[in-house]
Amino acid sequence: MLESPKKQYLILLFFVVSMFLMGCQTGSVEETNEQLLLNENVNLDNFEKIKIGDPETGEGGTTYEEVLDLMGDISPQFESEIIDKDDSSELEAHWWRYNRRHQFGTDLIGVKFIDGKAFSKFEEGLE
């Protein structure tokens, strides 16, 4: 007895979905290389080296390039930029050091820049 085309389609669809779901399962958890998550440059000494400039212009503050150098030329894990109407830019950048001792697993250095110069900084978990 021949099955209806609709029933054949449903059987084929079930087979395809089943194969897809089987492909999504993994037999073991892959190990991650925590070296990629660990930035030893995120430390209290480097945080204290970042100079804060004028809150409106950033003048006198450490430049973005200098902070990037302090962080071992590792790009920030978070970066957000706003261009103002007068073409000045404000940038916020965060660098993390993975650390299981803290509640959220990270130590953090955050810096806010105006036109590439630091005007604010903050840290979380650094000792």
* Listed range (10-19, 25-34, 61-70, 100-109) with the worst mean pLDDT: 25-34
pLDDT exceeds 70 at position 37: no
pLDDT exceeds 50 at position 27: no
Are 116 and 101 a contacting pair, CB within 8 Å? no
pLDDT exceeds 70 at position 29: no
**3-class SS at 30?**
coil
Q: What is the per-residue pLDDT for 41? A: 92
pLDDT exceeds 90 at position 16: no
pLDDT confidence band for 113 (50 / 70 / 90): very high
Residue 63 corresponds to which amino acid? T
Of the two residues 21 and 94, the one the predictor is more confident about is: 94
Are 92 and 111 a contacting pair, CB within 8 Å? yes
- 37-124: which CATH topology? Beta-lactamase Inhibitory Protein; Chain:B, domain 1 (3.30.1450)
